[in-house]
């Protein structure tokens, strides 16, 4: 039976993918932060563990526990758990930016570094990192998240080149709008770290608050998490997994526009979408 770690499985894409992988015959080790979310995964027959990417000990404990259960092997790692800190760059406390990177980049890096030697020793493995279209295109009010996903793109692609010939294949998934809890969760980060009333952007923030309170993007192109699962399966099972999987129409349009438009025009188009 193939084995995989899926992080951030309490809601949204991770919750869906953990269960879909199990239904497709994988042995799934899924992670969440709250005990009730760990229990809900357990109740669905998924081997569930606590993991907080900000906590190096929880990362090491997860890897120890999983390797103990598998006898020291792991076929795949799906880095998925993340949060999205909203706010204009000038309003972002450095600590909020640091925390964004702690979760969306450094934690992923720490977990990946513990898994690569295991995969090298067994001569095969798949690592799939869930980036975002915002890892390829900058959108205002999202500087922290955009920066973390751009950094993730760079780090992942360098690692991909370095692992050439090792039997370990590395892919990025770049979704556009997907139904999940990312907006309501982001609202908490917005209110916690940004001085909304004291900002020169307070009017623009009101629109962001309204959007997040209403559950995030209302795009008619918003897809359910199964759209991500379809490409995750390809990245995990295909003989030739792709480096990039762009998901949703807005994300695909963004990639094409970035390729064909002069930069200044591309950024103007993005600004008009925010
Ligand atoms: N939804 C979209 O439109 C969209 C678009 C592009 C990319 N993505 C990416 O898709 C991935 C999944 O997000 P989602 O949309 O499914 O959002 P979500 O419903 O908010 O799920 C995010 C998951 O990450 C977990 N998480 C948050 N902070 C964490 C930490 N410090 N350590 C470990 N896990 C943590 C959350 O756990 P808690 O419940 O404990 O907070 C939750 O399980 C993310 O990488 C996101 O950047 C999403």
Six token digits for residue 134: 């915002």
For ligand 1, whether the C-beta of 69 sits within 6 Å is no
Which residues lie below 8 Å from residue 227, measured CB to CB, with a gap of 6+? 175, 178, 247, 248
Residue 55 makes CB contacts below 8 A (sequence gap 6+) with: none
- Ligand 1 nearest-atom number relative to CA 134: 6
Q: Are 175 and 137 in contact (CB under 8 A)?
A: no
- In short, whether 10's Cβ falls inside 6 Å of ligand 1 is yes
CA-closest residue to ligand 1 atom 47: 82
Ligand 1 atom 42, closest CA: 8
Residue partners of 256: CB distance under 8 A and separation at least 6: none
pLDDT tens string 135-180 = 999 999 999 999 999 999 999 999 999 999 999 999 999 999 999 9
The predicted model gives 256-272 an average pLDDT of 96
CA 138 to CA 196: how far, in whole Å? 21
Q: Is the pLDDT of residue 217 over 90?
A: no
Instruction: Evaluate whether 74 touches 196 at the Cβ level (below 8 Å).
Output: no
Question: Could you report the per-residue pLDDT of 183-196, keeping only the tens digit for each?
Answer: 999 999 999 999 99
Q: What percent of the chain has pLDDT over 70?
A: 100
The best mutation among 7, 11, 190, 211 to test binding of ligand 1, ranked by most ligand atoms within 8 Å of the C-beta, falls on 11
Q: What confidence score (pLDDT) does residue 267 get?
A: 96
Please report which confidence band the pLDDT of residue 274 belongs to, taking 50, 70 and 90 as the band edges: confident
CA 170 from chain center: how many Å? 14
Q: Which atom of ligand 1 is nearest to the CA of 177?
A: 3
d(CA 142, CA 271): 12
Q: What is the 3-state secondary structure (H, E, C) of 49-109?
A: EECCCCCHHHHHHHHHHHHHHHCCCCCEEEECCCCCCCECHHHCCHHHHHHHHHHHHHHHH
Cα atoms in the 13 Å half-sphere on the side-chain side of 184: 7
Mean pLDDT of 225-252: 98
53 close to ligand 1 (CB < 6 Angstrom): yes
**pLDDT confidence of residue 101:** 98
Residue pLDDT, tens place only, 77-136: 999 999 999 999 999 999 999 999 999 999 999 999 999 999 999 999 999 999 999 999
Distance 15 CA to ligand 1 centre (A): 10
Does position 273 have pLDDT exceeding 90, yes or no?
A: no
Active site includes 145? yes
Residue range 221-238: mean pLDDT, rounded: 98
Ligand 1, atom 28: closest residue by C-alpha: 82
Pocket test for ligand 1, best of 5, 7, 9, 13 (most atoms within 8 A of CB): 13
Secondary structure element (H or E) that encloses residue 208, with its range = helix 202-213
What integer best gives the mean pLDDT of the chain? 97
Q: What is the pTM of this model?
A: 0.98
pLDDT over 90 percentage in the chain: 96
d(CA 179, CA 175): 11
* Cα of 145 from ligand 1 centre, angstroms: 12
Query: Is there an atom of ligand 1 within 6 Å of 96 CB?
Result: no
Query: Catalytic pick from 16, 53, 78, 145?
Result: 145
CB 231 within 8 A of CB 247: yes
């Amino acid at each position: 039976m193939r084995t995989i770690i899926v992080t951030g499985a309490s809601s949204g894409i991770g919750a869906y993918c953990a269960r879909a992988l199990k239904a497709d015959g994988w042995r799934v080790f899924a992670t969440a932060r709250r005990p009730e979310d760990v229990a809900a995964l357990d109740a669905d027959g998924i081997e569930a563990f606590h993991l907080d990417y900000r906590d190096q000990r929880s990362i090491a404990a997860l890897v120890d526990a999983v390797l103990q259960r598998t006898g020291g092997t792991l076929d795949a790692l799906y880095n998925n758990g993340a949060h999205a800190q909203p706010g204009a760059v000038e309003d972002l406390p450095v600590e909020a930016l640091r925390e964004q990177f702690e979760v969306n980049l450094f934690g992923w890096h720490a977990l990946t570094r513990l898994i690569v030697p295991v995969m090298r020793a067994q001569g095969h493995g798949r690592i799939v990192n869930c980036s975002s279209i915002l890892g390829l295109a900058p959108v205002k009010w999202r500087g922290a998240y955009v920066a973390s996903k751009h950094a993730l793109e760079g780090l992942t692609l360098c690692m991909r080149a370095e692992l050439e010939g090792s039997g370990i294949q590395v892919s990025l998934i770049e979704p556009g709008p997907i139904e999940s809890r990312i907006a309501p969760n982001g609202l908490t980060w917005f209110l916690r770290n940004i001085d909304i009333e004291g900002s020169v952007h307070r009017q623009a923030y009101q629109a962001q608050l309204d959007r997040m309170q209403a559950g995030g993007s209302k795009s008619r192109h918003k897809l359910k998490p199964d759209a991500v699962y379809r490409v995750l399966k390809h990245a995990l099972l295909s003989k030739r997994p792709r480096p990039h999987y762009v998901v949703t129409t807005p994300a695909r349009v963004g990639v094409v526009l970035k390729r064909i438009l002069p930069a200044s025009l591309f950024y103007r188009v993005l600004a008009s979408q925010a």
